[in-house]
Structure 1
Amino acid sequence: MITLLDYGAGNVRSVVNAIESLGEQVRTVTDGEDILSADKLVFPGVGAFGNMMKILNEKNYAEPLRAYLNADRPFLGICLGLQALFEESEEAPGVRGLGFIPGSVRRFDIDLSVPHIGWNGLSVRQPSRIFNGLRGDEKFYFVHSYYVAPADDSAVLTTTDYGCTFASSIQKGNVIATQFHPEKSGRAGLQVLKNFLESGGDAVRPPHSPEKTVLAKRIIACLDVRSDDRGDLVVTKGDQYDVRESGDVRNLGKPVDLARRYYEEGADEVTFLNITGFRDFPLEDMPMISVLRQTSRNVFVPLTIGGGIRDYTDKDGRKYSALDVAAEYFRSGADKVSIGSDAVLIVEEYLKTGQMTGRSAIEEIARVYGNQAVVISVDPRRVYVSTPEDVKHNVIETATPGPGGEKYCWYQCTIRGGREGRDLDAVTLARVCEKLGAGEILLNCIDKDGTNSGFDLELINAVRGAVTIPVIASSGAGCAEHFHEVFSRTDAESALAAGIFHRQEVPIRDVKNYLKDRVEIRV
């Protein structure tokens, strides 16, 4: 029996599913005695350091947890569960950590995108039984803005490079903790969990461990999910956002089946965009919740869900916040939530006053779950102008002239599935969303959607140059060469595709094979 310390933040369902897939049973901590009586304790943490420590103290978990650690009993901390072991964090000045490891938690101060999101390697500094069965050159999934800085290196198990070299896992006796997420790191991550769960085993140093590691570019499979005319959830794909063909919704497969196929083919992440219009309230849209729960049982890479993450009042007058909606998705297996049309409306309200309210969906979700959990999905279209002075927006000079020979354009944000344009450009939207707490930008392009003509590199460069958070390129991929083009001609951290994967015109494995030796990827 494995004991899980779930303090109520983030996606612990995937951790439970991963442990159960290895043949173990999981019980969840309900009081301090459950911690003290555990045979093996797993502590996955997601969100903000201060909020985590506040909850641990309020639930009277902190002191039993310190006693368990000091007794040198089997412990695995994940992400924030690693950071909790330290004395303090720059994320929450004045808040005391567990203090089991001398040192502090620091924010990345680097010339790269923060958060550090994606698949990176491990440089092994000392042998450990958790490396049994690993090659050493494998990559693991990271998502964090802060890293641990031990006062001495005696407990450092591995290091990872991202603008600086940081401790990516530690081991002190039977206490092990990782900054990466084993439950989201595919086969290699499951092997790490298996090694921890099994008793005994010799400490080994895996072969081919690099001295320096490199963050991989991510290939993301996107599934647009909606109800067809019979009410069944299907994966569909639009051409410039029109998902109907001969009057019917295009049906390209079942969401759970396709997600598992993409995981097995090597997708680095899977994104679900729920494009069904909610008639009442998203938490009553149980089929989509069920899709997440079923997918997370067999898909051990990050899952993002978008659609309907906003404030609601149901037919009985009960009010639900966007945070309530996001929490349900996280508890059902999502690692990140994607906010689309409502991000446009939030930014428009911000621009009226220039003041952050702390109450927007972006701010609330980022405060509780961390900015790495909030993705902004932008749906812009080109608007051509004769001169930059014609509009108040961020204008670029384009190599693709407009219908009247215009040499300039701006990217107009849209809402309602691209049906309504707004007086707001994509560059401004991205900048403001970063300020409000978003951790990633999913950059679609209506003009390129379904064309198979390649990504809009000008749009990507314009937005990527305006923010310091990661950007996901989307819309227009038609061949493996387009992925190489976007990674070599822009600084986008990842690229997303849908239709070419659904129709198996360009399988994910073919994209990975083409990029190998050209771009750093996870193989």
Structure 2
Amino acid sequence: MIALLDYGAGNVRSLRNAIAALGYPLSDIHAPEDILSAERLIFPGVGAFGPAMERLRALGYEEPLREYLRAGRPFLGICIGLQSLFEGSEESPGVPGLGVIPGFVRRFDNRALSVPHMGWNALRLQRDCELLEDAQARRFYFVHSYFAEPDASNRDWILAETDYGRPFISAVQRGEVVAVQFHPEKSGAAGLEVLRRFLAGQCILDQAANLSRAAEGDETDTQSGSEIGGAKEPTVLAKRIIACLDVRTNDQGDLVVTKGDQYDVREQGEVRNLGKPVELAKRYYDEGADEITFLNITAFRDFPLSDQPMLKVLRRASEQIFVPLTIGGGIRAFTDSDGRHYSALGVATEYFRSGADKVSIGSEAVLIAEAFHARGGQGDGTSAIEQIARVYGNQAVVISVDPRRVYVDSPEASSHHCIETAEPGPNGERYCWFQCTIKGGREGRDLDVLQLVRACEQLGAGEILVNSIDRDGSGRGFDLELLRMVRAGVRIPVIASSGAGCPEHFSALFDAVDVEAALAAGIFHRREVPIAAVKAWLQERGMLVRA
């Protein structure tokens, strides 16, 4: 019996779907005694350390799980499933972990790096193991702000390390107890193969080879991180290429992928129909997209949990697509027509349970930031950003920014943060500020981009998606001035969007601005530029992308 320890937080649908796609049956843990009855146990990695551990204890799962692990029975922990094995985490001081592995989980503290560590990175094997055989040639999807720290006390557990400013533990194993920091269910074919091997029982350590190497003195250097065979090449986070699908109902009532210029999606009175959402998303997955984003561009008008077709799209997509899925549109508190109130957390939870890995907050984020500044730069714990990040972790919250340029004659002409621009305004103005908008760009607010992104970062957001109303659909390339400003203003990862028209625009972006990812829509939908062509162009110029 393969059993899933679903403790009620985050997206476990993708893991269920991955296991089903591999042809294995799966049962659920419903009671503490079910843990000890399992033949193979999977602890999925979702949420934050504290809520995860507290939930395990509330359900009575902690002691049976510890007994199962100490017996060395087949176990796969993913992300939090790995971190929970340690004694504790800086994410939740005072909340003890399972204590199976000595050591603690720390927060990334290198201020030169974006946190969370988010995207496709590699492994550096420390021991021979069938589970990760050939894994050093592949990339896997990571998303975490905290890492298990390698030291002398846990060295005999370490199976693989990865680098992000410093080495951290990316896989552990003792006997048949295995845990990984990356998400195999979100790591495409490479991740599915890791899952398949675990499910098939192919996770035995090559003890003879490991003992022989130890006898020869080829030990792991936990400071520089030595690969099997002695190589010390650091692993590097790849740049992500994200395909975005703007989804809305057309005049016939069908959900379609659409795209327009400056957010106008109609052509000759009709909504542009560029394809069916699930079919198009699956095509992008097959073509090598590193992530898929769905933006429900009419959700601000309607209660999103009544939008069953969009939830169905998400569920169907997660059955076929094994890279991260983000959903945006309507992530806020609602009161329905019957007077029932739903929190933003409740709305997000339904999206996570339907297959989303992250939620994107747009217009609501602007209103949240305005309230944050009105309180003197303080949160009150009730905003959508704070609620979702507290339960599911910062990495689950993406802020989608829709700014437009406002030109002024001098910085003194505005109270907002201005830049001197290489793109003068209509009357030759040499300065501009970037105004935040809501409702799909139709309403401007007295808030600039830096005020928005810094507030959202402080409230707990884990990533910024920077759109540009001025560049949307233009094919003129990304707004590098806007992106430089945002990149310098926050420490969390930044995704560039709007304006891509050719592969050269992606290389120009990554050359000029240290963003983690680039997103495009129309050029992919219309097959003007294949995703593979973008990646090949970047590789030819020495930029690291996932093959």
Give TM class, smaller chain: over 0.9
Give the conservation status (yes or no) of the 8 Å contact 2:78–2:183: yes
Task: Please state if 1:520 is matched with 2:536.
Answer: no
Q: Distance in 1 between matches of 2:175 and 2:103?
A: 17
Of 199, 202, 221, which residue of structure 1 is paired with 2:201? 199
Amino acid corresponding to residue 21 of structure 2 in structure 1:
S
Q: Distance in 2 between matches of 1:165 and 1:318?
A: 49
List per-residue Cα deviations over 1:193-244 (Å, max 9, x = no partner): 0111112476469999873100000000000000000110000001010000
Give the conservation status (yes or no) of the 8 Å contact 1:137–1:210: no
Q: Distance in 2 between matches of 1:280 and 1:320?
A: 13
Residues 36-115 of structure 1 aligned to structure 2 (within 5 Å): 36-110=36-110, 111-115=112-116
- Distance change (3 Å), C-alpha of 1:101 and 1:277: closer
What secondary structure does 1:516 align onto? Answer: helix
- Distance change (3 Å), C-alpha of 1:326 and 1:201: closer
What secondary structure does 1:152 align onto? Answer: helix
- The aligned counterpart of 2:514 is 491
Residues 248-287 of structure 1 aligned to structure 2 (within 5 Å): 248-277=270-299, 279-287=301-309
What secondary structure does 1:445 align onto? Answer: coil
Q: Distance in 2 between matches of 1:203 and 1:482?
A: 46
Q: Distance in 1 between matches of 2:510 and 2:300?
A: 36
- Distance change (3 Å), C-alpha of 1:349 and 1:201: closer
Q: CA deviation at 1:45?
A: 2.3
Give the conservation status (yes or no) of the 8 Å contact 2:121–2:235: yes
Of 293, 308, 314, which residue of structure 2 is paired with 1:292? 314
Of 398, 407, 410, which residue of structure 2 is paired with 1:384? 407
Residues 148-167 of structure 1 aligned to structure 2 (within 5 Å): 148-150=148-150, 151-167=153-169
Q: Distance in 2 between matches of 1:210 and 1:321?
A: 49
- Distance change (3 Å), C-alpha of 1:207 and 1:261: farther
What secondary structure does 1:496 align onto? Answer: strand
Q: Distance in 1 between matches of 2:122 and 2:279?
A: 29
Moved more, 414-423 or 135-144: 135-144
What secondary structure does 1:15 align onto? Answer: helix
Structure 1, gaps ≥5 residues long? none
List per-residue Cα deviations over 1:33-85 (Å, max 9, x = no partner): 11110000000121211111111000000000000001100000000000000
Task: Please state if 1:340 is matched with 2:342.
Answer: no
Of 229, 232, 253, which residue of structure 1 is paired with 2:254? 232
- The aligned counterpart of 1:455 is 478
Q: CA deviation at 1:153?
A: 1.1
- The aligned counterpart of 2:427 is 404
Amino acid corresponding to residue 77 of structure 1 in structure 2:
G
Q: Distance in 1 between matches of 2:146 and 2:497?
A: 27
Q: Distance in 2 between matches of 1:467 and 1:278?
A: 27
What secondary structure does 1:81 align onto? Answer: helix
Q: CA deviation at 1:137?
A: 1.8
State the aligned residue count: 522
Q: CA deviation at 1:370?
A: 0.3
Q: Distance in 1 between matches of 2:238 and 2:232?
A: 14
Of 402, 426, 444, which residue of structure 2 is paired with 1:421? 444
Give the conservation status (yes or no) of the 8 Å contact 1:441–1:471: yes
Ranges of 4+ aligned residues in structure 1 off by more than 2 Å:
199-211, 277-280
What secondary structure does 1:455 align onto? Answer: coil
- The aligned counterpart of 2:120 is 119
Q: Distance in 1 between matches of 2:485 and 2:192?
A: 39
The TM-score with structure 2 as length reference comes to 0.94
Give the conservation status (yes or no) of the 8 Å contact 1:79–1:180: yes
Residues 218-229 of structure 1 aligned to structure 2 (within 5 Å): 218-229=240-251
Identity %: 65
- The aligned counterpart of 2:351 is 329
Q: Distance in 1 between matches of 2:127 and 2:168?
A: 15
Q: CA deviation at 1:136?
A: 2.0
Q: Distance in 2 between matches of 1:364 and 1:244?
A: 36
What secondary structure does 1:297 align onto? Answer: helix
Give the conservation status (yes or no) of the 8 Å contact 2:300–2:330: yes
- The aligned counterpart of 2:212 is none
Q: Distance in 2 between matches of 1:454 and 1:74?
A: 50
Q: Distance in 1 between matches of 2:326 and 2:232?
A: 30
Of 342, 353, 357, which residue of structure 1 is paired with 2:380? 357
Amino acid corresponding to residue 293 of structure 1 in structure 2:
R
Give the conservation status (yes or no) of the 8 Å contact 2:121–2:238: yes
Amino acid corresponding to residue 100 of structure 1 in structure 2:
V
Q: CA deviation at 1:152?
A: 2.8
- The aligned counterpart of 1:313 is 335
List per-residue Cα deviations over 1:102-142 (Å, max 9, x = no partner): 1110000112000000000000110111124x352211000
Q: Distance in 1 between matches of 2:176 and 2:135?
A: 23
List per-residue Cα deviations over 1:7-31 (Å, max 9, x = no partner): 0110000001001111101111101
Give the conservation status (yes or no) of the 8 Å contact 2:368–2:383: yes
CA RMSD in angstroms comes to: 1.4
Q: Distance in 2 between matches of 1:186 and 1:33?
A: 33
- The aligned counterpart of 1:469 is 492
Give the conservation status (yes or no) of the 8 Å contact 1:125–1:159: yes
Give the conservation status (yes or no) of the 8 Å contact 2:127–2:228: no
Give the conservation status (yes or no) of the 8 Å contact 2:131–2:204: no
What secondary structure does 1:211 align onto? Answer: coil
- Distance change (3 Å), C-alpha of 1:424 and 1:106: same
What secondary structure does 2:147 align onto? Answer: strand
- The aligned counterpart of 1:190 is 192
Give the conservation status (yes or no) of the 8 Å contact 1:122–1:210: no
Residues 110-149 of structure 1 aligned to structure 2 (within 5 Å): 110=110, 111-132=112-133, 134=134, 136-149=136-149
- The aligned counterpart of 2:224 is none
- The aligned counterpart of 2:173 is 171
What secondary structure does 1:101 align onto? Answer: coil
Structure 2, gaps ≥5 residues long? 210-226
- Distance change (3 Å), C-alpha of 1:147 and 1:328: same
Amino acid corresponding to residue 415 of structure 1 in structure 2:
I
Give the conservation status (yes or no) of the 8 Å contact 1:125–1:157: yes
